[in-house]
A and B are shown apart, each in its own frame.
Chain A
Amino acid sequence: MPNVAITLTPALTRLFPGCPRQLELEATNVRGLLDALDQRWPGMRDRLSDSMPRIRPHVNIFVDGERSVLETRLRPGASVLIITAISGG
């Protein structure tokens, strides 16, 4: 499986002690990437996707600069940015 480079928002990494902001994982699509993150940090998939299933409405996952969905394929060496959308009050 291809390696992809992932950057995580600090709003997420602070919920999972020891999780770095930048890492590389093997995955062929976004769904598989969330599974891989969840294996390393149990519970992380539920923080990023809901039971529909879909990426949570206030979370954005950009793949090579484009907003993605769970089915979005990842090319070898893809850049993945997981960030929070504007939300709250």
Chain B
Amino acid sequence: MSKTLILLGTRKGVFILESDAARRDWQLRGPYCDCWPMNHVIADPASATIYAGGGNEWFGPAVWKSRDLGQSWTHSSEGLKYAEGEEPIKAVWSLAPSAQGLYTGVQPAGLFLSGDDGQSWRQIEGLRNHPTRPKWQPGGAGLILHSLIPHPRDPQHIWVGISAVGVLHTANGGESWEMRNRGTRADFNPEDQRYPEFGQCVHCLVMAPGTPDRLYQQNHCGMYRSENAGAEWESIETGLPSSFGFPAAAHPRDRDTLYLVPLNGDIAGRYVPEAKAAVWRTRDGGKHWQALREGLPQKDVFFGVLRQAMAADRHDPAGIYFGTNSGEVYASADEGESWRCLAQHLPPIASVETLIVS
């Protein structure tokens, strides 16, 4: 029987929700990884290996790994470091499997690759050598590389999102990088500097399924779509209750369907608008948006959803999941039409990802 797993990175370790393909009954287990703060927990669907990246205030950054669906774990940070004298790496923020190996993004922003399944790491130095790096400024969570998208077929192409630098793209496997921020706003800048080359506060970057040139971006200042791999961005925020939010989740098969959880604004408390929970869905690439509320709490809701805390599974119909910064997990088994709470009272949830095991 196949298993469906929801992988949760939280402030106090990794938790896993497990069900079958029907996704009706869920069992929660954890915390794993010695209760380390975990920013991103993913699985490689090819091997079903789970990787968890985070950082511990005492012991620094590491990537944890489980080959038995979370029952046992090892950890390593060999090579996950900058040169002597540079600001040390504080935490791992993003993980992505690829044909080249396992990529990880860290704080302060940098990119590393492991060719031995997370045992050791080497820096992709071209990113840190970008000529603009001395001018990079941190966002509220620090100078973090939180979005990491290897091209699904061409290993030379990678996109990253760094707060508050913006989107960068490499076409040569990481040797050199170009900014990809044209059309995205920086409303926090002086009026005549709202569209800089870099310095935008990208919150979450996702790729449309089967269409690597189409990217979606939830930004601190707006919601955007690109049809040319990030070279230019078009605002798609008309119809949303707010231009501010953190996560975005692409449908597993439909490139035009995307899910968001807009929040009420960066100076308004950063919780769901009108204190009513809703996931917002487009089915036409951002031309129109629909609020999905059935089963979600509609009174006195003051949670937010962090940038990596929403995901879709690959079932048909697709399951959509999000975790809140107040420790609840909500799930829809019907592409967002209806929702229910799977878990509550967990630590603040930083990331949600899924794994289906045959």
Contact = CB atoms under 8 A, between A and B. Distances in A.
Contacts of B78: 42-43, 46
Interface in A29-87: 42-43, 46-48, 50-53, 56, 58-59, 84-85, 87
A48 B58 CA distance: 8
Contacts of A52: 84-85, 88
Contacts of A87: 57-58
Contact of A47 (B59, B84, B89): B59
Nearest to B90: A50
B88 A11 contact: no
Size range of the chain A interface in the assembly: 20 to 34
A47 B78 CA distance: 10
Given A51-B86, A52-B88, A46 B60 contact: yes
Contacts of A47: 58-60
Interface string B71-89: 0000111101111111011
Chain A interface, DSSP helix/strand/loop, else mixed: loop
Contacts of B76: 43
| B60, B78, B81, B84 — most chain A CB neighbours (10 Å) | B60
A15 B59 contact: yes
Interface of A: 11-12, 14-15, 42-43, 46-48, 50-53, 56, 58-59, 84-85, 87-88
When A and B form their complex, which 8 residue pairs have the shortest distance between CB atoms, in order from nearest?
A: A51-B81, A50-B88, A47-B59, A87-B57, A84-B58, A51-B88, A58-B58, A46-B77
Given A43-B75, A50-B81, A58-B57, 11 more contacts: A15-B75, A42-B78, A46-B60, A46-B62, A46-B80, A50-B60, A51-B88, A51-B89, A53-B84, A56-B59, A88-B57
